[in-house]
Amino acid sequence: MAAVFKDLPIPKFGFRRMLEGDVPAVAEAERAGYAYPWSEKIFRDCVLAGYICRVAEVDGILVGYGILSIGAGEAHILNLCIRPEYRYRGMGGKMLSHVIDLARTGSAADIFLEVRPSNVGAVRLYQSAGFLQVGIRRGYYQADNGREDAVVMRLAVNP
């Protein structure tokens, strides 16, 4: 009988600051995870602009990342991804918790994000962390058949 991803043990992993040298591996993980990936230039610009950029590693292998901006008492999760072969083992939840903690220590009162409604796993992950839908951005994402809306979600972290 073949093992199911969710039945596999969660390996030990840790977080660290994303460096400019990580950008090619981050962009490769993005391409593996999304049909319409960000470019290396976008990731490099995030690092150089001083956004809070973190990577998750397992035994020195980059398996995911999170990018957060904080300003005016709000945080915005710009991107969060776990490589497809490492999903369904709790790492997405740990990455999300780490990013939420960074927003909380950065004095953000609220965290916002956009997510594709078709990305059911991500929507469920955010809901499980307490995020609530607060709006819709019409035609926000590129999609195979034109555009896809974005669900806007919010989490109060320092009310």
Active-site option among 126, 140, 141, 148: 126
56 alpha carbon, distance to own chain's centre: 11
Residue tagged active-site, from 114, 140, 141, 148: 114
Q: Is 51 a catalytic residue?
A: no
Q: Identify the helix (H) or strand (E) that includes residue 129.
A: none
CA 25 to chain centre: 15
126 part of the active site? yes
What gap in Å lies between CA 78 and CA 69, rounded to an integer? 7
Distance CA 129, CA 153 (A): 11
Beta carbons within 10 angstroms of residue 29's beta carbon: 23
Phi-psi region of 12 (alpha: psi -120 to 50; beta: other; left: phi over 0): beta
Residues acting as catalytic residues:
114, 126
